[in-house]
Amino acid sequence: MVVLVPGNPVPRAARSTAAVRVFALAAAALLCLLSWKPVLGQVNDSPVTFDIPAQLLSSALNSWAVQAGSQVFFEQTPVAGKTSPPVSGSMPAKQALSALLAHSNLEFAQNADGAFLVRRTARAKAVPVARHLESTSVAQALATADSGPRSARDAEGPWEWRLRGDYVDPRNSSDALNLPSIPASVVPQDGTRTDGAWSAELGLEYYFSSHWSSELALNWPHKHDLTLRNSNYANGLAGDFKLMPNFLTFKYNLNPDGTFRPYVGAGVNVTSIYDVNAGPFSLSKTLAGPAAQAGFDLRLGEHWMLNADVKWARLRPAVAFNDTLVGRMNVDPLIYGIGIGYRFGGSPAPAPVAAPAPAAVIAPPPPPDSDGDGVPDSRDKCPNTPAGVQVDADGCPLDSDHDGVPDYLDKCPGTPPHLKVDGDGCEIEEMVLRGVNFKTNSAELTPDSAETLDGVVAVLKQRLDTKAEIHGYTDARGPDAYNVKLSERRAASVVEYLVIHGIARDTLSAKGFGKANPLASNDTADGRAQNRRVTVAFARPVRR
What letter does residue 476 receive in the DSSP assignment?
Answer: S
When pLDDT is averaged across residues 46-57 and rounded to a whole number, the result is 89
Note whether 268 and 247 are within 8 A (CB). yes
Q: Give the pLDDT confidence of 376-385 residue by residue, as tens digits.
A: 888 888 888 8
Domains of the chain with bracketed CATH: 48-149 (3.55.50.30), 153-344 (2.40.160.20), 367-397 (no CATH), 430-538 (3.30.1330.60)
Report for 59-73, 181-195, 229-243: range of highest mean pLDDT = 59-73
What is residue 237's predicted lDDT score, i.e. its pLDDT? Answer: 84
The 3-state DSSP class for residue 443 equals coil
Distance CA 288, CA 275 (A): 19
Task: Give Cα separations from 74 to 63, 120, 254, 329, 438 (angstroms).
Answer: 14, 10, 34, 68, 82
Q: Are strands 72-73 and 116-120 parallel, antiparallel or unpaired?
A: parallel
Closest CA to 299 of 155, 86, 465: 155
List the one residue out of 445, 544, 542 whose CA is nearest residue 500: 445
**Residue 270 pLDDT greater than 90, yes or no:** yes
* Predicted confidence (pLDDT) at residue 185 exceeds the cutoff of 80: no
Segment of 177-181, 209-213, 359-363 carrying the highest mean pLDDT: 209-213
Mean per-residue pLDDT for 407-428? 74
Structure confidence at residue 191 (pLDDT):
84
pLDDT at 352: 53
What percentage of the chain exceeds 70 in pLDDT?
79
Does the pLDDT at position 29 exceed 70?
A: no
pLDDT band for 349, please (50, 70, 90 cuts): low
C-beta atoms surrounding 224 within 10 Å: 19
Model pLDDT, residue 30: 47
Q: What are the pLDDT digits (tens) for 84-139?
A: 899 999 999 899 999 999 888 888 888 877 888 888 886 544 444 333 434 444 44
pLDDT attached to residue 164: 96
Scored b (16 or more CB within 10 A) or e, 85-117 reads eebeeebebeebbebbbeebebbbbbbbbebbb
Find out whether 521 and 475 touch, Cβ atoms under 8 Å. no
Residue 147's pLDDT is 46
pLDDT above 80 for 152: no
pLDDT value at 543 more than 70: no
41-45, 72-76, 161-165, 446-450 — which one is most confidently predicted on average? 161-165
Find which of 137-141, 195-199, 360-364, 378-382 is predicted with most confidence, using mean pLDDT: 195-199
Q: What is the pLDDT of residue 3?
A: 31
Q: Where are the beta strands (DSSP E) in 210-259?
A: 212-219, 222-228, 236-253
Question: How far is residue 224's CA from residue 361's CA, in Å, rounded to a whole number?
Answer: 80
For residue 400, which of 384, 383, 386, 416 has the smallest C-alpha distance?
A: 416
Residue 133, Cβ neighbours under 10 Å: how many? 20
User: What confidence score (pLDDT) does residue 70 get?
Assistant: 87
Cis peptide bond N-terminal to 183, omega within 30: yes
Whole-number mean pLDDT of the chain? 80
Whether 505 has a pLDDT exceeding 80, the answer reads yes
**What phi, psi does 24 have (nearest 5°)?**
-65, -45
Q: What's the pLDDT band for 19 if we cut at 50, 70, 90?
A: very low
Q: pLDDT band at residue 363, thresholds of 50, 70 and 90? A: low
Instruction: State the pLDDT at residue 42.
Output: 39
pLDDT band with cut points at 50, 70 and 90 for residue 6: very low
Q: Would you say 415 and 403 are in contact if contact means Cβ atoms under 8 Å apart?
A: yes
pLDDT band, very low/low/confident/very high, at 391 (cuts 50, 70, 90): confident
Q: Using the predicted structure, report yes or no on whether residue 41 has a pLDDT greater than 50.
A: no
E strand or H helix at 31: helix 17-35
Q: With a cut of 60, say whether residue 146 has pLDDT above it.
A: no
Pairing of strands 116-120, 304-313: unpaired
Rounded Cα gap, residues 185 and 255, in angstroms:
56
Q: Is 248 exposed, middle or buried (0-12, 13-18, 19+ CB in 10 A)?
A: middle
Give the pLDDT of residue 232. Answer: 59
| 431 or 423, greater pLDDT | 431
Which range among 140-154, 226-240, 304-318, 429-443 has the greatest average pLDDT? Answer: 304-318
Beta strands of 182-221 (E only): which ranges?
A: 185-187, 192-194, 197-207, 212-219
Higher pLDDT, 200 or 78: 200
Q: What's the rounded mean pLDDT across residues 365-393?
A: 83
C-alpha 220/C-alpha 215 separation (Å) is 16
Query: Per the confidence metrics, is the pTM higher than 0.85?
Result: no
Question: Band of the pLDDT at 359, cuts 50, 70, 90?
Answer: low
How sure is the predictor about 350, in pLDDT bands with cuts at 50, 70 and 90? low
User: Higher-confidence residue: 384 or 421?
Assistant: 384
pLDDT band at 266; cut points 50, 70, 90:
very high
How sure is the predictor about 145, in pLDDT bands with cuts at 50, 70 and 90?
Answer: very low
